[in-house]
Amino acid sequence: MKSKMKVLVPGSMVHIVLSIALLVAAPLAASLAYAQGTAAPAPSRFVGAITGINGNTLTVKTDGDGDRQVEVPATAALKRIAPGQKDLSTADIIQFSDLAVGDRVLVKLDPEAPGPTGQALQIIAVKQADVAAKQQKDREDWQRRGVGGLVKSVDTAAGVIVLTSGVGATAKTITVHATKTTMLKRYAPASVRFDAALPAPIDAIHAGDQLRARGTKNADGSEIAAEEIISGTFRNISGAISSVDTASSTLVVKDLATKKQVTIHVTGDAQMRKLPEMAARMLAMRLQGSSNGSGGGKSGSAQPAAGGAGAGSTGAGSTGAGQRGGAGQWGGGGSGDPQQMLSRAPAIQLADLKKGDAIMVVSTDGATEVTAITLLAGVEPLLEAPAASQSLLNNWSMNSGAGAAEAAAQ
């Protein structure tokens, strides 16, 4: 029941989770990179985050080679730039006392300074508060002006990408228009970090990929003129947990599709939830109805076992009472958005899982080892309707609606 789909969060889904919260990292890196110039960085410069301040000495966790200490004499030139700012002529002059733990800095060292500890000749800082404000602004913009879903088709010549998004009553088709000015990026292999995404041409996008786009939408949200597009190749895994190792933050699952063991690494960025039993049964009924009716499961082409497991495998008689009982909390009566239902499910930690639990996971691509993006437990009823359930999880990981907003706020 694996779907080798090709996903895109933001964050942080991803965080698409993918993690829209990481979107600020790219303009921040661009600002500091511009300050360093286009040449390869010399040993006399480094970029990182301030982790300590003692007197006039900064401790900086660098992006490249660990912690560095640097003295900041009164003669050092200190400037502050905003995330994404590239024109240093408009940067604000600041004092040493304006620096704080968490600020991102580019430090240029004085090559003639004596002593084992380097001395700063110049520091260009991006304040942590500015980063947080940029994150919030970008998150809101992706929520307001973004779309996401599974790629159905790509016309590279015309710059047109067709997505399918949502499941059941919320399912729809979205046409994404890309131009020469559209920023196209693709997740790096085995990565869910937005700031690690690399420029890629439109012909790198294929049917089955997951994709998010931000730009100007038409009135009903069925078309978007994209300013920015990010896509990637990810994997869907469903099965029972064989073992859990909290010390190494990993779990092993026997994938129902391949019948092989897969090691799943669970980082702090993973979105992990557990469906209450009533909610899982109600979702299974709803999704089974969608897949048997209008074809709500859109990744079925990658589900060779879907036909055998779909019809009649979830007993309506045993779940009717549960649906009525959970209607208030879970948006019953068929009116609730399944993706919002997933996002309202209680968050869990790795320690809450045990051997034998059934889970569904959207992860980085890989044969035997992957990193989790989204993980959903309590899914035994959903595994009885695989085609629709796969579509549900795929779209949840790319959700641009309320579910993603809730996840980003936590």
In sequence order, which residues have a C-beta less than 8 Å from that of residue 247 and are 6 or more positions away? none
Q: ∠ at Cα 57 (55, 60), nearest 5°?
A: 135
pLDDT of 65 reads: 74
Determine contact, residues 121/108, Cβ cutoff 8 Å. Answer: yes
pLDDT of 338 reads: 61
What residues does 228 pair with on adjacent strands? 183, 214
For the entire predicted model, the pTM comes to 0.59
In sequence order, which residues have a C-beta less than 8 Å from that of residue 289 and are 6 or more positions away? 168
pLDDT of 219 reads: 93
In terms of Cβ atoms closer than 10 Å to its own Cβ (0-12, 13-18, 19+), residue 143 is middle
Task: In the chain, count H helices and then E strands.
Answer: 9, 20
Q: How far apart are CA 382 and CA 389, in angstroms?
A: 6
pLDDT of 396 reads: 57
Please list the pLDDT of the chain residue by residue as tens digits (410 residues).
444 444 333 333 333 333 333 333 444 454 554 444 444 444 588 999 999 999 999 999 988 778 889 999 999 999 999 887 877 888 899 999 999 999 999 999 998 887 777 899 999 999 988 888 888 888 889 889 999 888 999 999 999 999 988 766 677 899 999 999 999 999 887 666 777 788 999 999 999 888 999 999 999 999 999 999 999 888 888 889 999 999 999 999 998 888 899 999 998 878 889 988 888 888 777 766 654 443 333 333 222 222 222 222 222 222 222 322 333 343 433 444 566 677 778 899 999 999 999 998 888 877 888 888 889 899 888 777 655 556 565 555 554 333 333 333 33
Of 141, 83, 55, 73, the closest CA to residue 113 belongs to 73
| Nearest 10 degrees: Cα torsion 133, 137, 140, 142 | -130
Domains of the chain: 25-133 (2.40.50.320), 140-234 (2.40.50.320), 235-409 (2.40.50.320)
Determine contact, residues 171/297, Cβ cutoff 8 Å. Answer: no
Record the tokens describing residue 238, joined without a space: 């469903």
Residue 314 DSSP code: S
Distance of CA 250 to the CA centre of its chain: 19
Determine contact, residues 21/246, Cβ cutoff 8 Å. Answer: no
Helix (H) or strand (E) holding 264, with range, is strand 261-265
pLDDT of 171 reads: 79
Burial letters 14-48, b for 16+ CB under 10 A, else e: bbbbbbbbbbbbbbbbebbebbbeeeeeeeebbbb
In terms of Cβ atoms closer than 10 Å to its own Cβ (0-12, 13-18, 19+), residue 330 is buried
Q: How far apart are CA 208 and CA 24, in angstroms?
A: 27
